[in-house]
Amino acid sequence: MASLRGALVIDRCGTGETGNGRLGSPRARRLRPARRALTFALAFAAASLASRVAAGGPASEGAYHRMKKAVVIDQHGFEKPMPALSLLIPSDWTFEGALVYPKGMPCGELVKFQFRAQSPDGKLAVELFPAYVWQWVDDPNSRRLLEASNQQGQRFGKAGCDLLQPMGAANFVSKLLAPKVRPGSHVLGVEPLQEVNESLKRQVQQAQAQADQVGLKVRISADAARAKVAYQAKGASVEEWLSAVVTVRAQPMPTFSGGRMGHTTSYSEQARFLFGMRAPAGQLAAHEKLFRLIVSSLRVEPDWQSRMTQVQMNIAAIQQKGEADRAKIRQQTAQDIQRIQNESFQNRQHAMDVQAEKFSQVLRGVETYRDPGSGEKVELSNQYGHAWTNGTGDYILSDSPNFNPNEHKELKGDWRQMQHVEPR
């Protein structure tokens, strides 16, 4: 009889909770297209994990992992609830997730994700914290104007944008993230995420080249780091990795002081892919492979992503119509320019999406399999090499070419081997 060593059994069952919020706010002028933002988020969320988790780390959880699908549901964004984000977690773990539309859209943020998955005894956990966005300007007078603008916007229900000096990922995770999400924790060390930084460098170069091509005067930088923190949780000593990817966009802006024109620099900063991976003190390394398996399965649901893209297009259309009403003489010219830009963007975006999908799969350590019976495709870990399905949403992964689940009585069902599919 074939061995069960290296097998991974997956149950499909979704759970999730959502926050409150609504779509369609008119205060979305500075939002990026949702499809591009979410594709970017997926690629680097996976990179944040893959860069610092040792692929060959010991697995203290046994010869195989039984997993289930956990889902964050968008309850309030559309006419009916929609799955928005999914991942695989051990079948006996609990899961709490939320998708929130922040009131007043602080710093133009339309939506925020967060979740926590943890073992039954609470000793192991993987957590995604909401992204954080802030701004800064070097000139003191300009900062005072921004503060006044934030205060005025708050009177009309628009959330302000925090004013903080630009900082890299290392300072963010150790000086801002750790005190915020783990008050009283002790930072044991901070280190850059080298593999993520290598991929970030390529992404930044591409974005900088596009900005230069259209004459946009902007300097873009990005880096990733993680901090190892220690603290007490329910009377026990625990350790946790807190990781983040921080991007900074610096642009020149004019100033006027003392009757003279001058120039300063303004900054838009974002910290995303804020992951926490927790284990009892001294046991982080022993669970790296399991953490990698969980976070590498993170996936934005395509249907929800498509709807968010449409929302952004609707917001843009509303803005265009408002401009046309205020200045009809510019309407036709504005529409022609927008059409040309949209066509150019869609062509570039399609090519970027194809490359991002391939890049994301490599970073996340997953590959696509097809059910030979139904034709359904699913992404599963590439650490095993062989997959089976029983056609009811259950999967088995194994790293043994001789393993056959039909030979094991405890794995009831009619299992058929799945086919590898290359991303296209």
112: nearest Cα among 121, 125, 103, 123: 103
Question: How many angstroms separate the CA atoms of 377 and 399, rounded?
Answer: 20
Q: Assess contact for 278 and 125: CB atoms under 8 A.
A: yes
Quote the pLDDT of residue 10.
Answer: 42
Bin 304: left if φ > 0, else alpha if -120 < ψ < 50, else beta. Answer: alpha
Q: What share of the chain is helix, strand, coil (3-state, %, to 5)?
A: 35, 35, 35
Quote the pLDDT of residue 19.
Answer: 36
CA dihedral 309, 43, 210, 266 (to 10 degrees): 90
Quote the pLDDT of residue 341.
Answer: 67
233: nearest Cα among 271, 170, 276: 276
Quote the pLDDT of residue 220.
Answer: 93
Block means of pLDDT (10 residues each) for the chain, length 424 residues? 36 37 37 38 41 37 76 86 92 93 74 92 95 92 86 74 93 97 96 90 91 89 95 94 94 80 90 94 92 87 84 67 62 67 67 67 81 87 87 85 87 88 77
Q: Please state the domain extents for the chain.
A: 8-312+344-364, 367-421
Question: How many angstroms separate the CA atoms of 301 and 168, rounded?
Answer: 30
Question: How many angstroms separate the CA atoms of 319 and 327, rounded?
Answer: 12
Quote the pLDDT of residue 254.
Answer: 87
Question: How many angstroms separate the CA atoms of 128 and 130, rounded?
Answer: 7
